Structure 1
Amino acid sequence: MSKRDYYEVLEVSKSASAEEIKKAYRKKALKFHPDKNPGDKEAEDKFKEAAEAYEVLGNAEKRQRYDQFGHAGVGGASGGGFGGGGMSMDDIFSHFGDIFGGGFGGFSGFGGFGGSSRGGQRVNKGSNLRVKVKLTLKEIANGVEKKIKVKKYVSCDHCNGTGADGGTAYSNCSTCGGSGQVTRVANTILGQMQTRSACPTCNGEGKTITKKCAHCNGDGVLRTEEVVSINIPAGVEEGMQLSVSGKGNAARRGGINGDLLVLIQEEKHPELIRDGSDLIYHLQLSVPDAILGTPAEIPTVESKVKVKIEPGTQPGKILRLRGKGLPEVNSYHRGDLLVRVNVWIPSDVSKEEKKTLEKLKESDSFTPKAGNEQNGFFSKMKDIF
């Protein structure tokens, strides 16, 4: 199946700026992120497709080749990226983590105690932890420091995380001699073949405990509760994930701590609706106020501001309060507050009110005229309500 046009994938024009392309990808990535669409294969495919499109259009040189030659200009080795679509989800998260700002690493997976090799010996890696943090619009607008309690494994104080009594009850592994690796020689038709692997006796650590720590039973870690401070930047969105390095589980018998992964959740505002960096507010006006004009108080994330509603304001009119929206992550741009005017029509009126309305109905001012905005009054009311 042929690939879709990358501009079509991100829903941007071919003349879109780099910032517009970045913003479009960011929106797609959040919409189709696997964490928000668990088990949804179609969403995962769209997530990968958007990442592939941004990998090309987000790079000036690759974008120029793509504009000139299409997919053929960025395929294979010359594409320098997804090529035939062989990158894994982890590759995508690692490659595009910076799109969400400096504090937002890849949406990495989570597992048990891992490990890596350093100088031939195995280095333990603590597992990552994941927590959810709910934020109000005000906290999102300004950024906030959150202190949360996390149940986690920490390094044992009694043995300094070594797992050995007093931190010194160690000896070199008798199997590998302290190297952490064993070499095996096998005879084959091609001659002798040597292979190296982690020592099965010490699990690649190069040493064994002669006397275990009584407090942690030789693991070097204890489960406890810790308060972690998290600095959340302004402008984050629902579904974003913040990575706090080294605040995950401690590694068994020393090594590298895992990370704390913080999933952002938004609390709904009672009056404001978020649309990216913009905010939307529905202002309800009575018919007399719409006709005669009136001052109105509009809520923002910080306080309230007063605006003047001009006489003859039509239903559906949008007032834009610039800079009263939300900031974007790691950007100087701030969105606007859009005030949508709704006119409330009463469904029941008194006899006196009905007589007054009948008189007004006969007035020339209340008679729709060709080309007059009032011709669309009822259709607009239908759209709004």
Structure 2
Amino acid sequence: MSKRCYYETLGVARGANDEELKKSFRRLAMKLHPDRCPDDPAAQEKFKEAKEAYEILSDQRKRSLYDQHGHAAFEHGMGGRGGGGFNGDVGDIFGDIFSDIFGMGGGGRVRRGSDLRYLIELDLEEAVFGADKQIEVPTLVECEHCDGSGSEDGKTSTCTTCRGQGRVRMQNGIFSIQQACPHCAGAGKVVTNPCRECRGEGRVHSERTLSIKIPAGVDNGDRIRLTGQGEAGPSGTVPGDLYVEVRVREHAIFQREGDDLHCEIPIRFGQAALGAELKVPTLDGEAEISIPPETQTGKLFRLRGKGVKSARSGRTGDLLCRVAVETPVRLTTEQRELLRQFESTFNGEDAAAHSPRNSSWLDGVRRFWDRVIS
């Protein structure tokens, strides 16, 4: 069966430039790669055809031969590799194509500086309402003396190891792999007269002061990305990003759970028994809750909309107040006598009616002992 036209295989016009060829092959490779279609032989075959087409058309000499003689140029040795159809260098193709996908270019040349992480601690109020903060970030910055070139006089020379390509080829059996040149770190050029400030690195250690706006509603573990504020990259590349990770300090009153806030409200015995109107704190002022008579410790009261407005969903949570009945301390003689008189009123068979939790607890104890004895 005759082969398809290479241009047709890649879906490009005959006058397509190198960038159009690369873009088209990258699109097909991401769609048809065997790792993505392990159970689709047809897709795998199409991938091989696209790879072969790109290997030929991306090489100007081979492309010229193909334009003149078609597939015959590579079936009878005219391609210079002894014929036999596709003899492509896998390292060449994937070094140029897939390296771009994963943030590498030029056969392994780093295209940007490293990302940085900074941990910032906030008060709960700052996390809930947002804040403007200044942070000091130790990092590598572009050397001002040489403008990041690494050269004292601004001059560079072609790397003799890679001959200016920025890549070297490593042969391992039948596989040929390209990687960044270890001598010039993928730049293709070397500094002959290193800068006296950065010693040829193009970067120096420094501490940068940055202003950062904390959005309202952030929580523990949230990250704020500052594009381009990370570590300066090698000469001719862009800096990385800075990721500011949030940690919220413990609060004296409130605990946060998602978009809700929790707090504990201590109340006196008399307030719990007779009921009361209490003022409770919220993050934006005071609110009032009604304690009904005979309230037990642990009772939960919900104040809707008094929690945190989420930075993601925009939903506002609630404030949940849990009451804790306190035992009175430092009693006066009169208070002690009054409590004794009050306690004496619980003598008799009706005492259990006033202590619902105590009654259920005693019933549980009896059942437990009955099981043990039996």
Instruction: Give the structure-1-normalised TM-score.
Output: 0.59
Q: 1:313 to 1:202 in 2, by over 3 A?
A: same
Give the equivalent residue in structure 1 for 2:143. Answer: 156
Cα distance, 1:124 vs structure 2: 5.0
Contact persistence 2:107–2:178 (CA under 8 A): no
In 2: Cα distance, 1:330 partner to 1:124 partner:
32
Describe the superposition over 1:127-175 as per-residue Cα deviations: whole angstroms up to 9, x where unpaired.
Answer: 3332221111111111223210111111112322111235x31233234
Which of 178, 201, 205 is equivalent to 2:164?
Answer: 178
**5+ residue gaps in structure 1?**
1-75, 79-114, 381-385
1:147 counterpart = 2:134: yes
Residue aligning to 1:137: 124
Q: Which has the larger radius of gyration?
A: 2
Confirm or deny: 8 A CA contact 2:140 2:231 kept in the other structure: yes
Change beyond 3 A, Cα 1:209–1:340 = same
Matches of 1:359 and 1:207, distance apart in 2: 97
Contact 1:175 1:199 in 2 (8 A): yes
2:357 alignment counterpart: 376
Cα distance in 2 for residues equivalent to 1:362 and 1:323:
45
1:127 corresponds to: 114
Identity %: 35
Is 2:280 aligned against 1:298?
yes
| CA distance 1:378–1:303, change in 2 (3 Å) | farther
Mapped contact 1:120–1:179 kept (Cα < 8 A): no
CA separation of 1:279 and 1:378: change in aligned 2, threshold 3 A: farther
Change (3 A) 1:379 1:328: farther
Name stretches of at least 5 consecutive residues in structure 2 with no aligned partner.
1-36, 40-101, 362-374
Taking the aligned partners of 1:129 and 1:378, their CA distance within structure 2 comes to: 61
CA distance in 2, matches of 1:272, 1:218: 53
Cα distance, 1:377 vs. partner?
6.6
CA contact (8 A) 1:121 1:179 kept: no
Do the aligned partners of 1:368 and 1:375 also contact (CA within 8 Å) in 2?
Answer: no
Q: Which deviations, in whole Å up to 9, do the C-alpha atoms of 1:5-28 show, x marking residues without a partner?
A: xxxxxxxxxxxxxxxxxxxxxxxx
Distance 1:303 1:184, change over 3 A: closer
* Structure 1 segments of 4+ aligned residues over 6 angstroms from their partners: 377-380
1:377–1:175 CA distance, 2 compared to 1 (3 A): same
Shift of 1:120: 4.4
Q: What CA RMSD, in Å, does the superposition of the two structures yield over aligned residues? A: 3.4
For residues 200-239 of structure 1, the aligned pairs below 5 Å read 200-239=182-221
Deviations 1:91-115 (A, max 9, x none): xxxxxxxxxxxxxxxxxxxxxxxx9
Distance 1:171 1:316, change over 3 A: same
Number of residue pairs aligned between Structure 1 and Structure 2: 262
- Which residues of 2 match residues 166-315 of structure 1 at below 5 A? 166=153, 168-183=154-169, 196-315=178-297
Q: Quick check: 1:138–1:302 contact (8 Å CA) kept in 2?
A: no
Q: Tell me whether 243-252 or 129-138 shows the greater mean CA deviation.
A: 243-252
